[in-house]
Structure 1
Amino acid sequence: MCYDIAFTTRIESVFKLMPLLNTAPGADLSFDPTYHKIGMSYPQWPIVLDHEGPQLAKLTWGPIPKMLNSPEKVKRQRQMFLNARSEKVLEPRTMWNAIRHQRCLIPVTGFFEYREIPGWKNKVPYYIKSNDQEVFFIAGLWTLSNSWDVDKPEPIPTFTLLTRQANQVMQQIHNGGDNAGRMPMMLTNELAEEWIKPNLTDTDIRDVLQYTQPSDTLEYWTVNSVRKAKPDDESVLAHINYEGLPPVLTD
C-alpha cells in the first residue's frame, strides 16, 4: 500500500494545475516542500475538494472510523485506514461506500514503494513520479473523524488515499507483502477534475476508477530507505545503486 509520499514544490503549483481552484474559507495553507512524509505520522496535507467549486484545504491523513472507539484502538489500528482499495468505494456496506460522495484529490510530486528481490535480505526502496508532470493527483475520500485528543476534542477533517491494481511497472516494484500488486489511484488532470464534481453517479465513479496510469508515464529510481530518520531534503531522493539489482521490465 502507499504510505510514503512527497510534495517537493510550492503550494502555488496546485493552483496552476487548477485555475478555478480557491482557498477554503479559513484554511491555513502554509506548507513547506517535503521530500518524504509517512502516513503513520498522520500529517496534515493540502487536499482539493469541492464545496461550491474546487477548494484547497489542509486535512489530516488517516481517518478514525467509529469502530476505533478508544485511544488504544486508534493507536493500534488507525494505520489500516490510511489507504482504501478503490474497489471498495462501490461495495455496499463498507465505510468507503458510505463516504463515496466525499471525494478529494491528494496532490503529490511522487511516492515511495519497496521491492522484494528473491534471495535478498532487505527490500529495495524506489521513488516513483510522473515523467511529464511535476505535480499529479491521487484520488481520495475525506471524512470528519473523532480525534481522541483532549486538546482538540472537536471532529477533524481527515482523508484516505485510494489504491488500485498496479500497472506492469508497479506490479514489479510493489511485489511483496499482503497488499502486493497495488499502486496509488493516479488520475489524469481531466479525471481529477471529474472526480471531485459533486453530482457524480455510481456509474460515473466507476468510470473514473477504471483508469490505470500507463507504465510508460512513470519515472522511477532506487533510493535509500525512507523508513529511517534523515533530513527532509533532496538527499531523500538521491539515486542509490544496488549492485546486482534485476531490472524492472517494461515490455
Structure 2
Amino acid sequence: MCGRFAMTLPDDAMTQLFDAVPANDLPPVPRYNICPTQPVSVVISAEGHRRYGPMRWGFIPHWYKTPTDGPLLFNARSETIAEKSAFREASRRRRCLIPASGFFEWTREGETRLPWYITRADAAPMVFAGIWQSWDGPEGARVASCAIVTTEAQGQMATLHERVPVLLKPEDWALWLGEKGHGAAKAMVAPEEGVLAFRRVGMAVNSNRADGPELIEPLES
C-alpha cells in the first residue's frame, strides 16, 4: 500500500516534465509527510492538453453523500480495479499521474512501527499510476479526488510490505492518460528489482502532523 508520501520537487519542474498547464491553486511544496485526505498535485489529460492541478487524496465514489460516508479509499488494487464498483469507471476513463519524491512504509519490531523511506535508486521523480473522480456534494460543492494504484510487491520491496505503488515509466504516461488508445492495464506492474532504494528514517514521521526535511533523513546507526 501507500499511505504516506513526500513531494519536494518544484511545480515549474513538474509542469515542464509533463508538458502540462499548471493550476493557480496547487498545494505548497516541499511537503515531507503527505497523508490521505490532503490535497496532492496530479496530471490529467483533457481537451487535448495536460493539466497539473490539485485533488483530494482519497477517492470519493459518486454515491457517497459526504466524503466520509464510507471507507477512505486512498489506494486501488490493480488486480481488482476494473471490477470494483467504486473504481471501475475511473479505471477506464479517468486516469492520472501522481508525482512524488518518495513514499513511506513501515515494518514491525514487536509493538514498534519502524518507518522506511523509499525512493527511486536513480533519484528521478516517481510517477504513481492514479485514478480520479469528480464528486458532487451538497449545494453544488464539487470535489476532485484520486487514489494511487498499487500492485503486489516483488523482490526486496516485498520484505517491507506486500503492496507497492505502480510506478509508470515515461513511455507509459501517455498510454495511462488515455492519449494513446487502449492497453493501459499493461502498465500496472511492480517496479523491477533495483529500481527502488529504501532506508530507515526516524520515528517522527509516525505522527501525521510532522513535517520537514528531517523526516526523510537516513537514520544514524
TM-score, normalised relative to structure 2: 0.88
Does 1:191 find its partner at 2:172?
Answer: yes
- Aligned ranges 1:1-251 → 2 under 5 Å: 1-18=1-18, 20-23=19-22, 27-29=24-26, 31-39=28-36, 42-51=37-46, 52-69=48-65, 71=66, 74-75=67-68, 77-79=70-72, 81-91=73-83, 94-100=85-91, 101-117=93-109, 120-147=110-137, 153-174=140-161, 181-198=162-179, 200-201=181-182, 204-209=183-188, 211-225=189-203, 226-228=205-207, 231-241=210-220
**Bigger Cα displacement from structure 2, 138-147 vs 225-234:** 225-234
Computed over aligned residues only, the root mean square deviation of the Cα atoms, in angstroms, reads: 2.2
1:133 to partner: Cα distance: 3.5
Q: Give the number of aligned pairs.
A: 218
1:158 to partner: Cα distance: 0.8
Determine which structure has the larger strand proportion and give its number. 2
Cα distance change of structure 1 residues 220 and 113 upon mapping to structure 2, 3 Å threshold? same
Q: Partner of 1:88: helix, strand, or coil? A: coil
Q: Partner of 1:63: helix, strand, or coil? A: coil
Structure of greater Rg = 1
Q: Is the 8 A contact 1:138 1:186 kept in 2?
A: yes
Q: Deviations over 1:46-82 (max 9, x none)?
A: 100101122111111112224433x5xx447342x11
- Structure 1 unmatched ranges of 5 or more: 175-180, 243-251
TM-score, normalised relative to structure 1: 0.78
Q: Is the 8 A contact 1:89 1:97 kept in 2?
A: yes
Q: Partner of 1:171: helix, strand, or coil? A: helix
1:199 to partner: Cα distance: 5.7
Write the distance in 2 (CA, Å) between the matches of 1:88 and 1:68.
20
1:107 to partner: Cα distance: 0.4
Determine which structure has the larger helix proportion and give its number. 1
Q: Deviations over 1:3-46 (max 9, x none)?
A: 1010012112212322x32235xx4235221011111xx11111
Q: Is the 8 A contact 1:6 1:110 kept in 2?
A: yes
